[in-house]
A and B are shown apart, each in its own frame.
Chain A
């Protein structure tokens, strides 16, 4: 396709630019009056456009927040996992903390240790550590 074939396109682009410049140079009052002449209710139409735009922005913010939360949780899970001692030590220290009253009298729904899965032990470790119940002087 040659550039000559785009003459009409160039004209339309120039007309669109003229419209844009003229609209920007027109007073608010005149624009509102024109809108009414065109059969539209400016307040209602503006409200519709504003609501739609704000809804999109708020949706984007919610999505961004969800992504950030997921990323945070992933990172903190990874950090917690890397900071945990071995599973054997986890079991030993938790049992010691509970038996030695290290849980400060807190009533724990502590089942028979043999029924806990490894991830239960790790979760319990993270929870107790967060609550400061494993303050046994060890790192």
Chain B
């Protein structure tokens, strides 16, 4: 299958790409996987990485050498996790994160991890919904009192873009970036496995 990014990678090309990943690339992949674990039954970010790589190797997730691999892998892990926690498992698995067509701009955004929100376009399993509710409650409690992070969380809740959050809260770009970093680092430290049961 071809896309505007070129032909689907061969196993040799995937192998070459994997060999080229730096330690920092792997750590980025691992951190992204942590973020996508919520509501899945996977207990460890490496489970999600492996699951996604198995699908890439097996050809059910397609990457082309024209695509930046680390962002692609982030998006593919998101899609795999979405598929696991979603009631419409099969349909989502078949659509999200796969080789994108020239005409499907929404999936282009998904693959390249755009700042734009990707809507949760399907129903969650009961288990995933409960996990999400518990996690959100814990996150809000954990960051209570950190006004800037609370703004970021509220912005996320309302689906606001970064500039809108800054404008509403009065944060400078540096303050906003710093709050976002505190949120991410706080989540990593407080909930290292991202499974908040």
List residues of A whose CB falls within 8 A of some B CB: 1, 3, 5-6, 8-24, 26, 28-29, 31-32, 34-35, 38, 40, 42-43, 45-47, 49-50, 52-54, 56-58, 60-61, 64
Cβ–Cβ contact B189 & A17, under 8 A: no
Cβ–Cβ contact A20 & B74, under 8 A: yes
Known: A10-B119, A15-B156, A53-B18. A60 touches B11 (CB 8 A): yes
0/1 interface trace, chain B 136-174, chain A, CB 8 Å (1 if under): 100100000000000011001101000000000000000
Report how far A46 CA is from B173 CA in the complex, Å.
Answer: 32
Cβ–Cβ contact B31 & A23, under 8 A: yes
Cβ–Cβ contact A46 & B27, under 8 A: yes
CB contact between A22 and one of B26, B54, B126, B180 (< 8 Å): that residue: B180
Chain A residue numbers with a CB within 8 Å of B82 are 13
Report how far A40 CA is from B23 CA in the complex, Å.
Answer: 12
Cβ–Cβ contact B117 & A19, under 8 A: no
Chain B residue numbers with a CB within 8 Å of A49 are 26, 29-30, 46, 49
Report how far A72 CA is from B182 CA in the complex, Å.
Answer: 58
Which residue among B39, B75, B120 has the maximum number of chain A CB atoms within 10 Å of its CB? B120
Measured CB to CB, the nearest residue on chain B to A36 is B27
A-B contact pairs, 23 of them (CB 8 A): A1-B87, A6-B120, A8-B132, A12-B38, A12-B39, A13-B82, A14-B156, A15-B153, A15-B183, A16-B35, A16-B36, A17-B117, A20-B36, A20-B74, A20-B78, A22-B181, A23-B28, A28-B25, A34-B188, A42-B26, A46-B26, A56-B57, A57-B57
List residues of B whose CB falls within 8 A of some A CB: 11-12, 14-15, 18-19, 21-32, 34-36, 38-39, 46, 49-50, 53-54, 57-58, 70-71, 74-75, 78, 81-82, 85, 87, 113-115, 117-120, 123-124, 126, 128-129, 132-133, 135-136, 139, 152-153, 156-157, 159, 180-181, 183-185, 187-189, 192
Chain A residue numbers with a CB within 8 Å of B12 are 61
CB contact between B184 and one of A23, A32, A64 (< 8 Å): that residue: A23
Q: A24-B113, A50-B19 are in contact. List 4 more A-B contacts (CB 8 A).
A: A6-B129, A12-B38, A23-B35, A28-B25
Cβ–Cβ contact B136 & A12, under 8 A: yes
Chain A: minimal CB distance from B75 (Å)? 8
Report how far A11 CA is from B23 CA in the complex, Å.
Answer: 30
